[in-house]
Amino acid sequence: MRISDEIREALASRRPVVALETAVVTHGLPRPLNLEVARECEAALRQARAVPATVAVLDGEIRVGLAADELQRLATDCRAGKCAARDLGALAAQGLSAGTTVSATLAVAAAAAITVMSTGGIGGVHRGDASDVSADLPQLARSPVLVVSAGAKAILDLPRTLERLETLGVPVLGYGTDEFPGFYTRETGLRLEHRFDTPETLVRAAHAYRRLGYQAGILVVQPPPESLAREELETALERALSRAREKGITGPATTPFLLAALAEETHGRTLELNRKLLVANARLAGEIAKTFLHEEHEETRSKTES
């Protein structure tokens, strides 16, 4: 694993750092939108005075922090794969390149001592088969990283996903919402136990978990900046699912296919929503990472003065 000099220096000097996944770059968004959004997310973090730690696998090397030309190469490489946490060692041994999913990014972030991550939506329990569960969920349960997202991807079984997070003991904290958002929509009817409306109060909760020795991840969910109506999204999704069944799409190819089909069914609206929520989540993650360090500094100073 190679950590860029900028990120090493930021971690050593206690500056805020936020990890970014790259499966959205290789598989989640079409070209050239994928590169544009990746750059916008990094810029949003820098505007929040946080350092972006974009994670990927390049030529078998696990990378934490990409230079501009490396990010462009990943975004334009048609051969780049998509890797979960379980694939990292295999890809490294074979010298391959890939964008990292939430689970892989969590594993790498935890290994690099990065405590905050941003993504669009996490994986979860798939529709129709409760045993088909994304690796994101168990990895989240064993990685001490706070993840900012717009809930789980809309193509999933959201009630079962929320139940599985509860079973795994992952705290789900709403930011500015009382409902578990559905990626493209704020309306899911899934009530959350805990809501926070400022980074400061949210970070106090996160610190309380850590002081108790809690080593699982913490999922922070905020609604997308703009939202499709729940009924509109379900109608478009049913059509996309029907197209997937007709074409025999299964396994890892399902999510990219459905996201592309949804974009067609909504005449590109889901792509624009995806772009906006990714940037909004990065911005919030930067604020949280910055507040984390400020709260730690204040706590240390208070102990020293007492």
Annotated catalytic sites, by residue?
Answer: 21, 153
SS3 of the chain: helix, strand, coil, percent, to 5: 50, 15, 30
Please return the burial class of 300, using the count of CB atoms within 10 Å of its CB with bins 0-12, 13-18 and 19+. Answer: exposed
Residue with tokens 């609206």: 269
Residues 281/225, Cβ–Cβ less than 8 Å? no
Number of Cβ within 10 Å of residue 78's Cβ equals 6
What gap in Å lies between CA 225 and CA 175, rounded to an integer? 12
Task: Write the CA distances from 263 to 103, 162, 183, 184, 267, integer angstroms.
Answer: 25, 25, 13, 11, 6
What gap in Å lies between CA 92 and CA 185, rounded to an integer? 37
Residues 228/184, Cβ–Cβ less than 8 Å? yes
What gap in Å lies between CA 269 and CA 272, rounded to an integer? 5
∠ CA 264-73-36, rounded to 5°? 45
